[in-house]
Amino acid sequence: MKLYTYDSAPNPARLKMFLDYKGIEIDTQQIDMTKMEQHSEEFLTVCPNATVPTLVLDDGTRLTEVVAIVHFLESEYPEKPLLGETPIERAMILNWNHRLFMSVALATADAFRNAHPAFKDRALPGIHPVAQIPELAERGKTRLLQSFEEINTELGTRDFMAGANVSFADIDLLVMLNFASWAAKTVPDASLGNIRRWKQQAEQALSS
């Protein structure tokens, strides 16, 4: 199998942390998004939607969503599980994957892609032109601050995002906080101590 990715971008960064933690090595080609290589004719034959990461399996099957890729790889490489070992663990991790995407990732993307000049007529990923809506940029920042407060409250009841063990949900939040800090210039308020405590624990757990 072969992975097409761009490690600096948020979605590929989620996958890279997953691969690094589990020690998985895959034949990889970096697609430089700063040079618009995702829109090259060569890459569009791999992924017509012009998005990374894309994992091409040995039988030609193409997986283009991070959650799908990590679920496939977790089944192939079950050591050091990040998607849960019991039905409730798996459900909670998936619950937080979706919730964080809806509340943090999309809010950051709105704030970034609707304001940055580089995304003129590219307010949404993909091959179709989409006009920027400045009001969505401001709404995105507001949603982020609200989401940070909600997450801080949730983290007051447990060590990690989805329970007692580090998981892919923690990877999601780490990447999304970094994304929000530079793309939306928005970070959790210093008073949100549960997020600060969790971040230190999650980074330590994922480095082991």
Q: What is the mean pLDDT of residues 186-192?
A: 95
CB atoms within 10 A of CB 138: 13
Token readout for 50 is: 């012009």
CATH number at residue 25: 3.40.30.10
- For 59-96, the pLDDT digits (tens) are 999 999 999 999 999 999 999 999 999 999 999 999 99
Domain that holds residue 112: 87-206
Last residue of a domain, one of 48, 76, 104: 76
Domain count, the chain: 2
How many CA atoms, within 13 angstroms, populate the side-chain half-sphere of residue 20? 13
Name the 3-class secondary structure at 79.
Answer: coil
C-alpha 122/C-alpha 18 separation (Å) is: 28
92 and 182 fall within a common domain:
yes
138 forms beta bridges with none
Longest Cα separation, the chain:
51
pLDDT tens string 111-129: 988 887 777 877 777 788 8
Q: Residue 141 is part of a domain; what is its CATH number?
A: 1.20.1050.10
Vertex 124 angle, CA 123 and 129, to 5°: 75
Q: What is the dihedral of CA 146, 147, 150, 152, to 10 degrees?
A: -110
Strands of 2-5's sheet, edge to edge?
27-30, 2-5, 54-56, 62-63
